[in-house]
């Protein structure tokens, strides 16, 4: 990690504030100061990788994740409103949000977790394990392509917009739509 002179000054001042106010936080102010004065900025990568290695998620990933969450929220809500006869041919596990693969879809899983746990959005998914343990993105993307035009049309309906049983079938079987 490269620290510019102005950042070095700001960090030094912050460590002094920490010391003067006797703040006991997760950051060790004396370690920060020692690293700064000793030319050991590499210590931040070693001792605080969560700070130095964090990169913001691209907006397109955030948008895609929220669209997937929204689609599954809509699917689950609509499925719950269907009568038993309308559910014939729709496996409930197909409309339930499966999460994302913790090994290969970690950005999406992290974004979903932040929306659900930190922002309090998509309460329906709170408390669920978000690791599907298998890839889900390709299927979710195919479902989204079918869902988006259907979702736009639901706004024209009276009452609360819900998906019909046929629309749910189309979305969960995008290759057969």
- Domain ranges for the chain, please list them: 5-52, 59-176
Q: How many CB atoms lie within 10 A of CB 146?
A: 19
Q: How far are the Cα atoms of 78, 101, 117, 144 from residue 121, in angstroms, in the given order?
A: 18, 20, 8, 19
Please report which confidence band the pLDDT of residue 127 belongs to, taking 50, 70 and 90 as the band edges.
very high
* In CATH, 59-176 is 1.10.3190.10: yes
Please state, rounded to an integer, the average pLDDT across all residues of the chain: 89
Is 177's pLDDT higher than 60?
A: no
DSSP β-bridge partners for residue 100:
131
pLDDT (mean) for 139-154: 93
Q: How many CB atoms lie within 10 A of CB 65?
A: 24
* Residue 46 pLDDT: 78
Global pTM reads 0.72
């Amino acid at each position: 990690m490269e620290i510019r002179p102005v950042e070095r000054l700001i960090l030094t001042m912050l460590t002094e504030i920490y010391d003067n106010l006797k703040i006991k936080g997760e950051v060790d102010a004396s370690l920060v100061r020692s690293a700064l004065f000793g030319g050991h900025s590499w210590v931040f990568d070693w001792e605080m990788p969560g700070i130095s290695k964090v990169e913001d998620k691209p907006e397109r990933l955030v948008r895609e994740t929220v669209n997937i969450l929204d689609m599954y929220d809509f699917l689950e809500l609509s499925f719950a409103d269907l009568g038993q006869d309308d559910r014939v041919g729709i496996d409930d596990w197909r409309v339930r949000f499966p999460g994302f693969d913790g090994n290969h879809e970690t950005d999406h899983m992290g974004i979903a977790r932040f929306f659900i746990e930190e922002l309090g959005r998509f309460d329906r998914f709170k408390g669920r394990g978000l690791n599907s343990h298998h890839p889900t993105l390709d299927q979710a993307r195919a479902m989204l392509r079918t869902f988006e035009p259907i979702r736009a049309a639901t706004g024209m309906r009276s009452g609360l917009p819900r998906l019909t049983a046929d629309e749910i079938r189309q979305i969960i079987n995008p290759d057969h739509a």
